[in-house]
Structure 1
């Protein structure tokens, strides 16, 4: 099954790289004011819509989940990599972290006030992404918000592009195309932030955050 194969490949790759990844990115928000701003807007949107639990899907070593807690959200993390989840539990023992797949979340319908998917769909083959977005819609309460982060492709005529990711096969997305998939899934875009590549960036890709709301 293609979905299982891609998930297994990604999980095994991140298991192998977990310790190095955690060391590289644990303090990444400190140097990323725009990322902090996007997360802050997301937190305010969730709170203004009634709050509720927030799932950080593809949480890695848990540093973003912990930051959401600092912003006042009741957040927990989910990741396909058991090694990542173990590191997250060791670092943030007061928070909940679960091993799981975005394609089949062990979360009740409409249970969440927010979903964060920060560079977690990039390893999903494009044909499988609509099902993932439908799962995000399922677990969100009406009025709940999704913040999804990804690397942007460069050509509107090519909505997805493969790129050389250091850990696992990955894809970039044309922002308007992904926004259209969100809309089809019942998640209406309400805002987006685009960060242009900087000279010091290893990859010269635009980074995009889309904020969407379930009607």
Structure 2
């Protein structure tokens, strides 16, 4: 598993600038606007797997207190230039170093799809722990079966570890951890850039 992680990090480090140029050209996801309306005004948001910080910048522009984490050093360097009002740290999703009840919202856009399924329940429990009561969690995942080392020809054939889910599968896991499901919405590919169809999930910590 450690080798899979290193392979994925290396791919993002090596393509960080190109990745940034590509994702910056996209229109904002409608889900990011929906999420922003669900999180308490001026609340604290964790951008989990923030990449080059384009989503963090949007949240900061709305007045949120934003912390972004990523395991790619190159991505974090770009993010710090992109969103100067946000705070960024190099941190592993499997080793989150935050106190309980820290965040009003957690935005996880295409980041948990790199977490091995055997570790997913552990990560979701930690996310619930660092959310405040009634805090909002957003997750997007690729639809499909199992997991694989994906050869990403969009970026010169770098290798990335991807994990795939069915909507029912992730819904069951989130409920088992104790999240209240607000919405689960499967969506087709938006453009030829997308490798798979998606699952968009909004849920809430209820104690």
TM-score strictly above 0.5: yes
Instruction: Identify the residue that residue 150 of structure 2 maps to in structure 1.
Output: 164
Q: Deviations over 1:41-70 (max 9, x none)?
A: 2111112xx763110010000001111223
Q: Which is worse superposed, 99-108 or 65-74?
A: 65-74
Q: In 2, are the aligned partners of 1:6 and 1:124 still within 8 Å (CA)?
A: no
Taking the TM superposition and a 5 Å limit, the aligned residue runs for 1:10-25 are 10-25=8-23
Q: Distance in 2 between matches of 1:203 and 1:83?
A: 23
Q: In 2, are the aligned partners of 1:38 and 1:193 still within 8 Å (CA)?
A: no
Q: Structure 2 residue aligned with 1:210, among 185, 201, 205?
A: 201
1:17 deviates by 1.3
Q: Structure 1 residue aligned with 2:177, among 182, 185, 188?
A: 185
1:7 deviates by 2.7
Q: Distance in 1 between matches of 2:59 and 2:188?
A: 24
Count residues with an aligned counterpart.
200
Taking the TM superposition and a 5 Å limit, the aligned residue runs for 1:20-99 are 20-28=18-26, 30=27, 35=29, 37-47=30-40, 52-99=43-90
Give 5+ residue unaligned stretches, structure 2. Answer: 153-157
What's the TM-score once normalised by structure 1's chain length?
0.85
Ranges of 4+ aligned residues in structure 1 off by more than 6 Å = none
Q: In 1, are the aligned partners of 2:167 and 2:184 still within 8 Å (CA)?
A: no
Instruction: Identify the residue that residue 155 of structure 2 maps to in structure 1.
Output: none
Instruction: Identify the residue that residue 133 of structure 1 maps to in structure 2.
Output: 124
1:180 deviates by 1.1
What's the TM-score once normalised by structure 2's chain length?
0.88
Secondary structure of 1:113's match?
strand
Q: Is the counterpart of residue 120 in structure 1 residue 111 in structure 2?
A: yes
Q: Is the counterpart of residue 101 in structure 1 residue 99 in structure 2?
A: no
Q: Deviations over 1:147-183 (max 9, x none)?
A: 0011112xxxx5x343735241212211111111111
Change (3 A) 1:43 1:177: same
Give 5+ residue unaligned stretches, structure 1. Answer: none
Q: Distance in 2 between matches of 1:185 and 1:165?
A: 32
Q: Distance in 2 between matches of 1:99 and 1:163?
A: 23
Q: Distance in 1 between matches of 2:37 and 2:199?
A: 19
User: Which one has the bigger strand percentage?
Assistant: 2
